[in-house]
Structure 1
Amino acid sequence: MNTELNHKAGLESEAFRHMAHEPGYRKLNALSEQAEDMLHKGNYNGVSRMLRIYHESETVVAEIARLIQKSDLCRTPRQAAESDVRELYGRLAETRLAEQGRKGQAEMAPEQADRVNVLIAMHTFMLSHHVQRHPECGIVPPDNNDVKEAVRVLDADTRASERAFSGLYHFLMEGSQPSMYALLRYDMADDYRLHNLLDSGFVDSAALEREYGKLPDFLELDARLTRKAEKALESLCKCPPVPYLEKLNEELEKLERLAHSPDNIDAPFINRDFLAKYGIDRSSPVEERTRQVETAYRKLDARFVRMTGRRPYADDLFGTVKPKAEIKEAGTDKPERQKPKGRRMGF
């Protein structure tokens, strides 16, 4: 009986303490407007002071966290490393709401991580990359375990994943720049920076070689970036949008035409970018090139099976296809042209 009374008294005390730290509607609205104005003007120290005063208030902290998320203060590692931004996120991490999230995270499903801890995770992630790239900055790097936990939280956060997916999708379909988070998370940042520098034409090759070592061929670099982006996008979405699948299907059909007719390597529809992406060397002997085409087709075909659930086509194609060179060697004077099957994916 005493245990139950003590438990009830404890709950009532906690509820009273909670209410004592929560402002009314008008006060909360005024604080929200004040914090939004300070964030808009870049007065992050002012927001830090507000968090210090109201660190016990869950509603105030949650509202400030919403506004910080809206302001997107950690778009780049450099922004995350600014002293007033580090102070702001440090104050956010010390709030009662953040502490509750950390204590409950072991029992919570990863996707239920609250906004406060997602924000802290993004700052930890970005700051760790800044310190890695600029060890001379003097900033103490985040603990490795904290960085791993930050990556887990961000991977589980729907909003972060959707933004990364959207950036990767538009990069692949339109050539627009992904977010810095997506570039860093999927190991594309250095390649993307070097790609842009080489593409601009106004570069100091000697300086770049000191930083990167031997510079890669531009087409190979472009192909590597594309492959990384596709791998990342497909890891974020089990079945990507139809335009993306149609684009890949066109490339699958090109590979099929090359399998049927290796001489098509010089056809107008086969460009250098396509060959670099799929590891096909135009100068290789026809037998080697045929193996390269088959390898590329099988890998892309397997991706379609995984993304769409259709049956694989590779065994059918390479179990029956005979390149023109083999038909001529068999003694046929006028071999009949084998037309690509042109299978559609049934999206």
Structure 2
Amino acid sequence: MTMTKKIGVILANLGTPDAPTPTAVSRYLWSFLTDPRVVDVPRWKWWPLLKFLILPPRSKRVAKNYQAIWTEQGSPLLAITIQQQKALQAYLSAKNINAQVEIAMTYGNPSMQSAVDALVENQVDKIIVFPLYPQYSSTTTGALFDAFANALKHTRNIPPFEFIHSYHLDKHYIDALAQSIKVRLKPDEFLLFSYHGIPLRYENQGDYYRQHCKETTIAVVDKLGLTENQWGMTFQSRFGREEWLQPYTDEFLISASEQGIRKIAVVCPGFSVDCLETIEEIDEENRENFLHNGGETYQYIPALNAEQTHIEMMGHLILQKLRGCTG
């Protein structure tokens, strides 16, 4: 495909604090946890609780966790997303696509506003927004769409755009995920698919995230040829007291040995980039949960990150959106 028109691509993720300090983490969490897509408690009731009771201790605790995983390039999420950006830019250039790839975060920096402004300023002919969430949820993809729309509020010359809603069953995504697991999974290991959770109430209000997670899991299981007693699916990272999607990852791993599961591999297909929730929560905290409760071996299978199969999958999805935009 040869293209003369200029395409803008926005690789978009949740976000990260600017520094591993309580102040930076508090600022980031405030932006994240005051989004009604994420926490829909009335503002008058939620904001005082968040500001005075929740954020002060939580920011200090989370900052310590970030300090343990911080790199010279910043947070792992940002550092790896930059790798993805460079690799995708190179992939599209090799396909003779005149593209400009930008990074945007729903919360924090680089902001969605900065990405949109850069593309509009360079007069791209079309924008493709690529949420790095394979499975749709109103709390992630929905919130990201809000951020994109808000970034265009004061722009009169809005370019045509495409928004990738989800790709949880895309062939190239399933193939890349299955291949990544296949080369790491040992024959005697139980495979646990752990997805980020959402409140059960959100599902009852129409969020179909769990269904997307199930469909991804079944597609990968079928690709790997696993039997029903060789795998499981759970949800991690719950917050607050209300019920979230179950079963919970931490509770499953604590009791896994009682079910005869002594060797386990955990993969998190909902994460396109390794971050605090995978590195600290899954690879460290939940490793301890399993090994200290009768487990023998535990491995975390990394996110697809900047693996070539992942970049090619992104490229295929973008090329699909570019049909009819050549010349």
TM-score range, shorter chain: under 0.3
Pick the structure with greater CA Rg: 1
Higher normalized contact order (CA 8 Å, seq sep 6+, divided by chain length):
2
